[in-house]
Structure formats: structure tokens, C-alpha cells
Amino acid sequence: MMRTIRYLLQKEFKQIFRDKSILRIILIIPIVQLLLLPLAANYEVKNINLSVVDNDHSVYSNLLISKITASGYFKLQSYDASFKKAMGNIESDRSDLILEIPQNFENNLIRDNEEQLFVAVNAINGVKANLGGAYLNTIVRNFNGDIRLQLITPQKINPMPVIEITNANWYNPFMNYHLFMVPGILAFLVTMIGGFLCALNIVKEKEIGTIEQINVTPIKKYHFILGKLIPFWLIGLVVFSIGMLISYLVYGIVPLGSIAMLYGFVAVYLLAILGFGLLVSTFCQTQQQAMFIAFFFVMIFILMGGLFTSIDSMPPFAKIIAGLNPVSYMIDVMRMIVLKGSGFDDIKFHLLKIIGFAVVLNSWAILNYRKTT
């Protein structure tokens, strides 16, 4: 058995490294994607274009505008004389929000201790609208607190009970999105490389006709599957190692947990993803078919795996799909080990589920591969 598999592995590695494009995929794609994707995958919205309609032109209105523009989230797009003109900026997509300050803003605030501001939000981009409105509300609330401190005479004993809230950000104290996104993107890259390359491999044998020569040999079906799986399993580990090196050199990310345990989980996860790729290849006759089917499933895996949106925020049926998605467990474990330093007890149920995926997918691929004699 071992001698047969050894010859199959020699054949596979020669066939893989004869194709220079695969080497470029292995070496270049992880580097480029890990350098570019974390720059775009950022949930923090900045440079929100703001139009201001100041009907008061008072000291307080100027202070409020200065506080908003100094926050770093807003860019003063226009300072308009009327709401109608500011609305024209939103209609032409030059502005995202309108802040209208009413007349007698300062006088009413001092005299009546209250005043209202009007905010109009361009909600075409829902994420930008929600975050922009939330940022603006927070800035106005802080401005209101500063004004109250100036107007209220300080007393030794506060007549109203006060609850103070102190925040502590665990695992990512500086709210650096690279620490959150890079482990997930690395899981995405391992999935893409392992799933696509393995799915196209058997189909390529069918297209060029060498599959018929293999079928008439006395090798067993599981010999053939192992010969196809092991090379791409090793390639997947190499891609993961390149990604970890880039994460350290470029983003300074050092796993808090055990690196050996991280590699152990990735090794089992690759067996599951490669089993998926092999299963796809047994159903397809051309590389084009395999590419489209693999792309269809991989897109579902990624979009419903918790990389960009939280699984807890999904509807119930989507949570069921996410539970059948091996990528969701990989992304979760990557973040747990890298950011939280989780141990084996924390990831053991994730590992058991991935082992289940690996056994089912690879067994299905072996059973579905029809070897004619």
C-alpha cells in the first residue's frame, strides 16, 4: 500500500510543479490578498461627507461644527445657506448627512436648557448611514454634556444619582480591525486554495485522458484519492505558513494561543476542504464545471461563515446553514486561538465537527469515484 501511494505522490508532485501557474497561485495569491484585503475589510467608516445648515451663526453653533469636524470621522463637504441647497448635495451624492442648526440655537439652549437639531441621512448605503448617524449622535451628546458642565454651578453633593460606565476592550484593546480580519481572511485563503485546486485536479485528468490510464491499473480507489489529497494537503499547510509569516511581518500579529494547536486544527480542516474539492471533481467532467460548482459553494461558505457579518445576526434558517458550514468553524477557531489564546477545551467541539466533515466528505468522494476496469 505505502509503495503504491509513494509512486502516486511522486506522479502528483511532478504533475503539480510542472504547471508554473500553480506555483504562482501558491506563492503570490496569499501574499497579495493578505496585503490588500485587510485594507478594504474595515468596519470603521471615515470621511463621511457632511453638509451643515447653520441658521444661528452663534458661538455654540460654531463650537458644535468644530467638534464634529475635529472628530476625524466627518469631512465638511458644504456650508449651505438653506436646507434645500444642502438636500441638493445629498441628491447628487456629494454629501452623506445634513446637520441643520435652528435659529436661536444658543439662546434657547441657555434659556430653556433644551434645543433640537435636525439630521438628515442618505440611507442608500445603509452601513454608512447607520454608523454616520450614530457617530454624529455621539458627538452631539458629548457636546451637550460639555455645555451642561459649563452652565450648571458645581456642587459638593450631586443632587441626582450618577452611574459611571468604564469600558475595557478585551483581546483587542485598541480596536484594531487587522487583528480581527486577518485571521478570518487567512482562513478564507486556505479554503480557496485547497478547495479550488483539489476540485480541478481530477477533472484535469479526465480532460487530458490520463484518468483512463489510471483506471486500468490495479490501484484501489482509496489509493487514488489519497494520492490526490496528500499533495494538496501539504500545499495548504505551506500556504497557511506563508500567511502566518505575512501576518507577523506586516501586521505584527502573534497568536496568543498554541501555534502547534493552530496547525493541528488547520491540518484537520484541510482534510475536510480537500474532501469537498475531491467530491466536486467526481461529479464533474470538465474543469469549467468544477470551477463554477466549487465557486458556488465556496462563496456560500465565505459569506455565511462569519467573516464579514456575525452569524448571531443572521435569521434562523441562515444559522442552520452556518452550522453545516466548515468555514465558520475555521474562522471562529482562528480568532479564538490568535486573539483570545483559547486552549483545547475551548475548541474541542469545533474540532469534532470538522473531523465529522472530513470523514463524511472524503468517504463520499471515495464512494462516488467510479473506477472502471
For the segment 258-305, what is each residue's pLDDT rounded down to a tens digit? Answer: 999 999 999 999 999 999 988 888 888 888 888 888 888 888 888 888
- For residues 234 and 142, membership in a common domain is answered with no
pLDDT tens digit sequence for 225-253: 788 788 889 888 988 999 999 999 998 89
> Which of 151, 186, 205 lies at the terminal end of a domain, its last residue?
151
Q: Are both 105 and 23 inside the same structural domain?
A: no
Condensed to tens digits (0 to 9), the pLDDT of residues 142-164 reads: 888 787 777 665 555 556 666 67
Residue 140 shares a structural domain with residue 205:
no
86: pLDDT strictly greater than 50: yes
Does one domain contain both 237 and 359? Answer: yes
For residue 62, give the CATH number of its domain. Answer: 3.40.1710.10
Q: Is 54 inside a domain boundary?
A: yes
Structural domains in the chain (count): 2
Same domain, 37 and 52: no
Q: How is residue 54 written as a grid cell?
A: 447653520
CA distance 6 to 321: 38
- Looking at the structure, tell me whether residues 319 and 304 fall in a common domain: yes
Residue 373 confidence class, pLDDT cut points 50, 70, 90? very low
**Do 260 and 297 have their domain in common?**
yes
> Is 33 in the same domain as 73?
no
Which has the closest alpha carbon to 31: 200, 249, 181? 249
The radius of gyration of the chain's CA atoms, rounded to the nearest angstrom, is 29
93: left (phi over 0), alpha (psi -120 to 50) or beta: left
CA-CA distance, 193 to 318, in Å (whole number)?
25
Q: Within this chain, do residues 233 and 317 fall inside the same structural domain, yes or no?
A: yes
Q: Mind listing the pLDDT tens digit for each residue in 358-367? A: 999 988 888 8
Please state whether the predicted TM-score (pTM) of the whole model is above 0.85: no
Q: Which three cell numbers stand for residue 260?
A: 502547534
- Cα distances from 154 to residues 142, 148, 176, 188, in angstroms, run 18, 10, 38, 56
CA distance 115 to 35: 48
Percent of the chain past pLDDT 70, that is, above it, reads 92
Cell triple for 8: 502516486
Residue 135 belongs to what H/E stretch?
Answer: helix 126-151
| Amino acid type, 53 | V
Whether 171 maps to a domain, the answer reads no
Does one domain contain both 121 and 221?
A: no
Tell me the residue type at 25.
I
Per the structure, the complete domain to which residue 134 belongs is given by: 48-151
